[in-house]
Chains A and B, each alone.
Chain A
Amino acid sequence: MSETARGVATEVDVTVRVNGSTRRLRLDSRVTLLDALRDRLELTGTKKGCDQGACGACTVLADGKRVLSCLTLAAQCDGREVMTIEGLSRDGGLHPVQEAFIRHDGLQCGFCTPGQIMSAVALLAEGRAGSDEEIREFMSGNICRCGAYPNIIAAIREAAVRDAGV
């Protein structure tokens, strides 16, 4: 059991709902949400890219809002609702945004894709997929080093149209 230099225990108890299930964890206070998801809950869909808030690969939804799990302490999520890429499927099938990414080939290596998709799902909920320009601006927190941006935008545009029931 770890403690601070002056002997104070650093473990924290965290109860968090992840993809609809309640999970109870005892963690060192330094553990990020990203590491808790990947290493403790075995939800490795969320990716560790820069691990410093610059790339967006670790994007998840916390209480419905997209956030960076690498800069969020797991302890801060106590009592919160977290959704990861594993929680997106509907009735066993893919989420429409996932389907659109496949149809438009919105990836190459795929490492940034879970973050891109979580961000895109939030973008649609925020109502910010009105134009390619708007999609580019509000997806700018997700970097794709393969440069699949044109296909990512096409996928989101299509998902937005379907979302609107057009």
Chain B
Amino acid sequence: MEAPSILQWVLVTLTTATALVVVMVRNPVVAAMSLMATLFLTGALYFGLGSFFIGAVQILIYAGAISVLFVFVVMLLDLRPFPVKVPGTGLRTILAVVAAVVTLLSLANAILPGLLSPSHPEIEAAAAKSIALRFLSKYMFPFQVTGLLLLSAVVGVVVLARPVKPISVDRGDF
């Protein structure tokens, strides 16, 4: 059984902390920045696991593009911190806590016990080359569909983000 290094422990603790901040904090900007930190730290964890390519992609796309999108939107809409403490203490929060704990326990039961020894960090199978070969042979169809998906997302976003016309005449488009 390979024990995790101190660095991995530190990274895991930091990731948990930043994820908690995302879920608990009132100010949406702080939540967005904390999300960036969580995604970046997860990328660092991927580096520690030996998947350098996926780690770099994670930082490039998740922490460097998606998270920037979140920060952009929060700043554009000028969202203020919530006046009421959220999450509150109502019935909804209690139910959410129950749901989360149930998820946690069931996943832990499914994944954690019965594990054999972990592997040494190896980059052979996670290198860009092997992933690319998979993309072009086994996962060719999802690859093409994802391309179409990205295209439709770009077009959809441009359509959705158009400024609203002041005089609302039902022209039947949108």
Question: Does chain A bind chain B?
Answer: no
